């Protein structure tokens, strides 16, 4: 524990408001998180742009061009799971307030503006559960009482801290066992044809129940990880099966129920099969009319692959009227000894930069909070979260992943447009946005062991900057 820095002044470096006054764009304020330093989202300097002209090949540069704009940014957030809610409930009251402020306060926190939660149980629940009785195809027994103990209070606390509005989308891990061909919540299995309508009705019942509790539901995904046969809650859909379920059951049922405006997210699995899934769904006009976007995770790396951002670009190019949304990612195989491991945050930085540059409009982390074991998880699939609660002493541990996410979520405003940011060195990765108030947000990540001096170049003017080893920087250009 002595190696873990926990201090009451955690948010002293987060006092920068994200509502910024538009000024002539000749200066930049810099915020830095860097390995081996105390800087965590810390204001670390101001830069002035001066005439620079043509760079030469030996000069490292980040080129910014706000005359070219792309997708509209919606928000960044995390999943409010059973596990997060149960750990939250164990915290002392002052730590509960600290956590909510850390995530959802736009001034003294990192300004989360999006949330996801599970429909019935998932692996990050203390046990399996459903909302309906055995063989109740009419859903007369439907009841969300289970969620009132932990999950609903957390969602409401987060929403209040976010200013009373927190777009929430919901995802199922499995239909009730009796609706499936393997008669089990776990180990995959498929939805039985005779229960397709009952299952479509189940989404509507869940949304109605949550909204009756004062929690508006912005959207839903069809199925979490529909190609994964897991030892926890799971259900398999081929691309054709998901297409047909959307077209013939779920889409029409949402419309008939007055929920046609809900954002329906398909796939909700890894980038590797993303184009095959998206093309099968979206080439069918009758199915595509119901689909708002394609959701994806980052776990294609389990096969030994790198993150496959090119697959996102192929979908964006082929179906530009649909949205890309990152719906889940976490670092697996929890080990308490690794809470200070700098690679945790760098995985987030790599994904967020790559995903946004490929056209992603929204980005959702997995559990916002887990305990000192990486759970609770009823099948032992223990993982990292950006914030870990040590329930043995009631403390909160902020991994560098929390700060790396904050380099985006704290400064990007809903409605921002991605603009061009181009690096001439692969050691510096970058993305950029123009906020609705006119400020430019440029994020630069250095994953190397070297300090890199570079020029932040825009329209023939440049400002000299220094990127520390294993660092993340956000430049606010005003």
Q: Catalytic site residues?
A: 225, 328
B/e letters for 116-136, b = 16+ CB within 10 Å, e = fewer, are bbbbbbbbbbeebebbbeeee
Radius of gyration of the chain (CA): 22
| Burial category of 106 from C-beta neighbours within 10 Å (exposed 0-12, middle 13-18, buried 19 and up) | buried
Asked whether the beta carbons of 277 and 239 are under 8 A apart, the reply is: yes
Q: Which of 302, 305, 242, 297 is nearest to 271 (CA)?
A: 297
SS3 content of the chain, % helix, strand, coil (to 5): 30, 30, 45
| Residue 34 tokens, joined | 């860097």
DSSP state of 18: S
The answer to whether 106 and 17 have CB atoms below 8 angstroms apart is: yes
Q: Which residue has the tokens 């190609």?
A: 227
Question: In this structure, are residues 5 and 403 in contact, taking their beta carbons and an 8 Å threshold?
Answer: no
E-strand stretches of 16-167: 27-34, 42-48, 50-51, 61-72, 75-79, 114-119
Establish whether the linkage from the previous residue to 376 is cis, with ω within 30° of 0.
yes
For 50, 239, 262, 405, 414, the CA distances from 41, given in Å and listed in that order, are 26, 42, 35, 10, 20
């Amino acid at each position: 524990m002595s190696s873990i820095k926990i201090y009451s002044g955690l948010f002293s470096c987060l006092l920068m408001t994200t509502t910024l006054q538009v000024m002539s764009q000749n200066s930049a304020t810099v915020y830095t998180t860097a390995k081996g330093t105390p800087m965590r989202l810390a204001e670390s300097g101001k830069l002035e742009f001066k005439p620079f002209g043509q760079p030469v090949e030996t000069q490292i540069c980040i080129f910014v061009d706000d005359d070219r704009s792309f997708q509209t940014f919606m928000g960044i957030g995390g999943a409010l799971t059973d596990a997060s809610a149960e750990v939250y409930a164990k915290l002392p009251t002052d730590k509960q307030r600290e956590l909510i402020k850390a995530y959802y306060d736009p001034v003294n926190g990192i300004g989360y503006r999006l949330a996801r939660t599970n429909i019935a149980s998932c692996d990050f629940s203390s046990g399996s559960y459903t909302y309906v009785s055995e063989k109740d195809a009419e859903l007369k027994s439907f009841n969300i009482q289970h969620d009132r103990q932990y999950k609903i209070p957390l969602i409401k606390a987060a929403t209040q801290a976010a200013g009373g509005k927190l777009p929430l989308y919901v995802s199922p891990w499995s239909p009730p066992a009796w609706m499936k061909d393997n008669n089990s919540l776990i180990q995959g299995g498929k939805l039985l044809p005779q229960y397709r309508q009952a299952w479509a009705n189940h989404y509507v019942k869940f949304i109605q129940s949550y909204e009756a509790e004062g929690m508006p539901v912005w959207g839903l995904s069809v199925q979490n990880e529909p190609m994964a046969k897991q030892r926890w809650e799971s259900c398999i859909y081929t691309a054709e099966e998901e297409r047909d379920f959307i077209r013939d059951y779920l889409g029409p049922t949402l419309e008939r129920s007055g929920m046609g405006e809900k954002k329906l997210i398909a796939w909700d699995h890894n980038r590797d099969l993303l184009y095959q899934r998206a093309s099968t769904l979206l080439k069918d006009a009758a199915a595509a009319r119901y689909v708002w976007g394609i959701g994806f995770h980052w776990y294609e790396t389990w096969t030994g692959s790198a993150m496959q951002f090119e697959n996102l670009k192929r979908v964006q190019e082929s179906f530009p009227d649909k949205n890309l949304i990152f719906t889940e990612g976490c670092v697996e195989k929890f080990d308490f000894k690794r809470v200070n491991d700098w690679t945790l945050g760098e995985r987030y930085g790599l994904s967020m930069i790559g995903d946004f540059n490929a056209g992603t409009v929204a980005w959702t982390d997995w559990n916002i909070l887990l305990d000192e074991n990486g759970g609770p998880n009823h099948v032992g699939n223990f993982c990292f979260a950006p914030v870990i609660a040590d329930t043995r002493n009631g403390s909160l541990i902020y991994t560098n992943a929390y700060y790396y996410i904050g380099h985006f979520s704290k400064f990007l405003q809903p409605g921002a447009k991605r603009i061009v940011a181009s690096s001439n060195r692969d050691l510096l990765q970058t993305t950029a946005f123009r906020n609705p108030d006119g400020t430019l947000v440029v994020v630069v990540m250095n994953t190397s062991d070297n300090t890199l001096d570079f020029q932040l170049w825009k329209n023939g003017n440049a400002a000299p900057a220094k990127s520390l080893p294993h660092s993340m920087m956000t430049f606010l250009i005003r």
